[in-house]
Amino acid sequence: MVRRKRFFPNRILLQICVAPVAIVLCALVFLFCVYSPVREPVVFNVSRGDTVTGVAARLEKDNIIDSAYVFKFAVRMHGGKIQSGQYDIPESASAWRVAKMLSSGDIASVNIVIPEGLTIKQIKNLLLQSSELVGGVECELGNVAPVCSLNDGQIFPDTYRVAKGTSRLAVLELARKKMVAVEGSLKRSMRRLPKPLKDWNDVITLASIVQKETPKMKEMPIVASVYLNRLNKGMRLQADPTVVYALTDKLGDMQGQPLLRGHLKIDSPYNTYKNNGLPPAPIANVGQGAIAAVLKPADTSFLFFVADGRGGHRFSRDYETHQKNHADWRAIKSEKNKK
**Structural domains of the chain, count:** 3
- Reported as a pLDDT band with limits 50, 70 and 90, residue 5 is low
Q: Residue 301 falls within a domain, yes or no?
A: yes
Q: What is the pLDDT of residues 46-72, one digit of tens each?
A: 998 999 999 999 999 999 998 898 899
Q: Residue 11 falls within a domain, yes or no?
A: no
Residues 129 and 202 in one domain: no
Residues 152 and 44 in one domain: no
Average pLDDT over residues 265-279: 97
Of 163, 187, 211, the last residue of a domain is 187
Q: Residue 144 falls within a domain, yes or no?
A: yes
Q: Please list, residue by residue across 256-279, b when 16 or more beta carbons sit within 10 angstroms of its beta carbon and e when fewer do.
A: eeeeeeebeeeebebbbbbbeebb
pLDDT above 70 coverage of the chain, percent? 88
Q: What is the pLDDT of residues 115-154, one digit of tens each?
A: 999 999 999 999 999 999 999 999 999 999 999 999 999 9
Of 104, 127, 146, the last residue of a domain is 104
Q: What is the pLDDT of residues 164-208, one digit of tens each?
A: 989 999 999 999 999 999 999 998 888 899 999 999 999 999 999
Domain of 278?
Answer: 191-338
Residues 164 and 228 in one domain: no
Residues 233 and 330 in one domain: yes
Of 136, 158, 187, the last residue of a domain is 187
The DSSP 8-state label assigned to residue 45 in this structure reads E
Residue bearing the bigger pLDDT, 218 or 11: 218
Residues 180 and 210 in one domain: no
Q: What is the pLDDT of residues 71-100, one digit of tens each?
A: 999 999 899 999 998 899 999 889 889 999
Q: Residue 163 falls within a domain, yes or no?
A: yes
Q: What is the pLDDT of residues 246-255, one digit of tens each?
A: 999 999 999 9
Q: Residue 8 falls within a domain, yes or no?
A: no
Q: Residue 243 falls within a domain, yes or no?
A: yes
Residue bearing the bigger pLDDT, 17 or 134: 134
Residues 317 and 332 in one domain: yes
